[in-house]
């Protein structure tokens, strides 16, 4: 009897089981391939991120080292630089914990801080140079008026933004102490000019300074001739009716000195 041989039910079941086994093996192999591919990509991502993070950390260290080496920044921004240095330790810890984005954030923050520090330092340096000009000019003016400096101008503290003070005296024993602040405020203390107490219009005791005031006004006039423009002085205990007062403070205005050479720190 001819024709296609028929499989028994047992054979059909075995074939189905074999086909199912092969399909499951194929699925398992595909899943394993996907896991391995994902693991490979993750290793590549971590390696790439680690490389970039190390580059960012190197750039951060170089930026901070350059900031410390900059004379202008190291002079005016010591506190800010110390704060900046702490970011290196934070970045190194972030690298160990694979917090790579944090390192990039720290680097950007450091760049922004450096820009702010540079702006601050340049402004402070300009004020410092102007302060030096004011001191030198006022010394020259007082010297021309017969008031000779008793000792070299001295900073009132070790801080970079300290005031500078010097004392002058003439042959009559009249003394003018001058203090120049970093922001340009000038203060005078005058002694030995024969100032005396008088009654003001409201009965209060105030000083009459018939010689002190003209002397300091002349200082202003002579300073302006040398290119340093000062605003009109204000006086302590000023009587609005009689202008009896004691010379004390003299802030500068926004005008810049003209035709003067600025000195460095």
Q: Where are the domains of the chain?
A: 10-124, 127-251
Return the pLDDT at 12.
Answer: 80
How many CA atoms lie less than 13 Å away from 230 in the CB half-sphere?
A: 28
Q: Which residues of the chain have pLDDT under 50?
A: 1, 238-265
Return the pLDDT at 237.
Answer: 55
DSSP label at residue 153: -
Return the pLDDT at 232.
Answer: 76
Task: Quote the CA–CA distance of 124 and 132 in Å, as a whole number.
Answer: 12
Question: Which phi-psi region, left, alpha or beta, contains residue 203 (left: φ > 0; alpha: ψ -120 to 50)?
Answer: left
* Separation of CA 212 from chain center: 40
pTM for this prediction: 0.69
Q: Are 133 and 263 in contact (CB under 8 A)?
A: yes
Return the pLDDT at 201.
Answer: 64
Contacts of 75 (CB under 8 A, 6+ apart): 121, 160, 265
Q: Which CB contacts under 8 angstroms, 24+ apart, belong to 216-224? A: 216/176, 216/188, 216/190, 216/247, 216/250, 218/145, 219/138, 219/141, 219/142, 219/145, 219/176, 220/250, 222/141, 222/144, 222/145, 223/137, 223/138, 223/141
């Amino acid at each position: 009897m001819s024709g296609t041989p028929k499989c028994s039910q047992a054979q059909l079941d075995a074939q189905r089981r074999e086909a199912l086994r092969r399909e499951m093996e194929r699925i398992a192999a595909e899943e394993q391939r996907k896991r391995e591919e994902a693991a490979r990509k993750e290793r590549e991502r971590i390696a790439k991120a680690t490389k970039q993070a190390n580059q960012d950390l190197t750039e951060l260290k170089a930026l901070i080292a350059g900031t410390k080496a900059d004379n202008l920044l190291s002079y005016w921004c010591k506190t800010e630089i110390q704060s900046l240095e702490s970011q290196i330790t934070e970045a190194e810890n972030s690298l160990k914990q694979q917090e790579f984005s944090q390192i990039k954030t720290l680097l950007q923050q450091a760049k922004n801080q450096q820009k702010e520090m540079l702006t601050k330092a340049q402004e402070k340096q300009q004020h410092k140079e102007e302060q030096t000009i004011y001191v030198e000019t006022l010394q020259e003016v007082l010297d021309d008026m017969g008031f000779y400096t008793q000792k070299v101008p001295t900073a009132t503290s070790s801080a970079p933004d300290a005031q500078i003070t010097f004392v002058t005296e003439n042959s009559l024993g009249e003394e003018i102490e001058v203090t120049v602040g970093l922001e340009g405020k000038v203060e005078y203390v005058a002694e030995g000019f024969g100032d005396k107490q008088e009654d003001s219009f409201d009965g209060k005791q105030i000083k009459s300074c018939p010689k002190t005031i003209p002397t300091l006004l002349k200082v202003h006039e002579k300073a302006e001739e040398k290119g340093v423009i000062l605003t009109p002085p204000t006086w302590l205990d000023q009587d609005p009716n009689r202008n009896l007062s004691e010379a004390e403070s003299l802030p500068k205005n926004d005008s810049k000195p003209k035709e003067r050479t600025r000195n460095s720190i």
